[in-house]
Amino acid sequence: MGYSLLLSLLVLAKATATLAADTVTENRSIDDIHKAALAEGGVVTCWHGGDEKNRQDALKEAFEKRFPGMTLNLTVDLSKYHEVLIDDQLTNDNVFVDSAILQTVHDYARWKDEGALLNYAPNDFDKVHEAFKDADGAYYGIGVFGWRIAYNNKKWTGDPIQDFEDFLNPELKGRIVSTYPNDDDAVLFAYDLIMQKYGKEWLDKLIQQDVRWVRGSITPQTLVANADAKEAATFIGISPSLGPDVNTTLPTDAQYVTWPQTAAILKKAPHPEGAKLLHNFLISKEWLFTSPKTTVRTDAPADYPDIFKTPNTNVTAFGPWIADRERVERLRFWFEKKLGTPQGLSPLDDDL
Ligand SMILES: *[C@@H]1O[C@H](CO)[C@@H](O)[C@H](O)[C@H]1NC(C)=O
Ligand SMILES: *[C@@H]1O[C@H](CO)[C@@H](O)[C@H](O)[C@H]1NC(C)=O
Ligand SMILES: *[C@@H]1O[C@H](CO)[C@@H](O)[C@H](O)[C@H]1NC(C)=O
Ligand SMILES: *[C@@H]1O[C@H](CO)[C@@H](O)[C@H](O)[C@H]1NC(C)=O
């Protein structure tokens, strides 16, 4: 046996040895998984974090078009509500969710420790950045999400709003909208990072701007984009593109929040093949490489931004930050004392 072959076998043995004994490494084509998912019943139940019911309609449409006969049974709700109901299903041994795709990234290590997740490496798992995946395939990032500045250039004709400091401009008084930081942990992290740079004075000055505090993280950008609302600017925008009236920018004067939206298949999922099909699709080139945007894959085309080279954000910082529940809770109550409890129904509770 040649030395280099021996070496590759050793390297392979080492790579394989890092996977847990029960990790299933996918070896079928996506079309064969499609056949298996159809034979299983053609459904996959996915709970996705977000705060507009139709927020993931593009995913549902693309998935069902690509895989005829499949239904993506999708429920969008705030990750913090999905997580506790998944815990109920686990406690009661009544798991009916197949795939959980949430912002609450701290849940996954715990669920893995509890033996609740399927160790499964989809096709191209080796192309997912190390920092975004569990080595055993229990969970992995499927997309890079984050907050950006958004302002309406019809409502605001002053200097471009590019930085957090720009929100203290007195001319913006009464025209800023933000999610309550004590309603969403990723928003809380945004405030924490800004105040690490500017101190509590920045917040006191922001409060004096008569900010409209809302629930839900889509609400600010919706109000900014809406020609009839007076709010012109937010730094809790999520979509890079909101039409010609809205400019979006990434702030440069302090760190801003990005995180890997993370996905896992429940071990007791009623539709494991459907879930595998969904997860293979979510990290596939055909889904991720449609237009230049940040991605969890390491083999993106050259014109795709590399989140690890993007200044002013640290995509791996959110995980340890949100996992420190004691600190998060203290901070949340600190904001609650300053701003009061979040008022109004959560956007998805309007039918309660
Ligand atoms: C494919 O993976 C399955 C499940 O892990 C395994 O049983 C099977 O032997 C593998 N087939 C090939 C050709 O590697
Ligand atoms: C769709 O998901 C809901 C929960 O989100 C579940 O109650 C329902 O049974 C699922 N439908 C199918 C066909 O599996
Ligand atoms: C704001 O967006 C408009 C429309 O996309 C664009 O023409 C303009 O250059 C942008 N302004 C800034 C300051 O980026
Ligand atoms: C990003 O955050 C992680 C976790 O807090 C930390 O270990 C790492 O050093 C940070 N990276 C940079 C470039 O600051």
Which domains does the chain possess? Answer: 2-145+259-314 (3.40.190.10), 148-256+323-339 (3.40.190.10)
Q: Hey, whose CA ends up nearest to atom 11 of ligand 1?
A: 27
Strands of 140-146's sheet, edge to edge?
71-77, 43-49, 99-102, 258-265, 140-146
Distance from residue 318's CA to the centre of ligand 4 (Å): 9
Which atom of ligand 1 approaches the CA of 25 most closely? Answer: 5
> Which residues have CB under 8 Å from 222's CB, separation 6+?
none
Ligand nearest to the CA of 137: 1
CA dist., res. 282 & res. 15, Å (int): 23
Sign of CA pseudo-dihedral 223, 176, 162, 236: negative
> What's the pLDDT score for residue 18?
63
> What's the pLDDT score for residue 46?
97
> What's the pLDDT score for residue 15?
47
Gyration radius of the chain over CA positions: 22
- Is the C-beta atom of 239 inside 6 A of ligand 3? no
> Which residues have CB under 8 Å from 311's CB, separation 6+?
252
Query: 99 — phi, psi (to 5°)?
Result: -130, 130
Distance from residue 326's CA to the centre of ligand 2 (Å): 34
- Is the C-beta atom of 160 inside 6 A of ligand 3? yes
> Which residues have CB under 8 Å from 121's CB, separation 6+?
19, 23, 24, 25, 26, 137
> What's the pLDDT score for residue 198?
97
Q: What is the pLDDT along the chain (352 residues), one digit of tens a residue?
A: 344 444 444 444 444 446 777 899 999 999 999 999 999 999 999 999 887 777 778 899 999 999 999 999 999 888 888 999 999 999 999 999 999 999 899 999 999 999 999 999 999 999 999 999 999 999 999 999 999 999 999 999 999 999 999 999 999 999 999 999 999 999 999 999 999 999 999 999 999 999 999 998 889 999 999 999 999 999 999 988 899 999 999 999 999 999 999 999 999 999 999 999 999 999 999 999 999 999 999 999 999 999 999 999 999 999 999 999 999 999 999 999 999 999 877 666 654 3
Tell me, yes or no, if the pTM score tops 0.85.
yes
- Is the C-beta atom of 323 inside 6 A of ligand 4? no
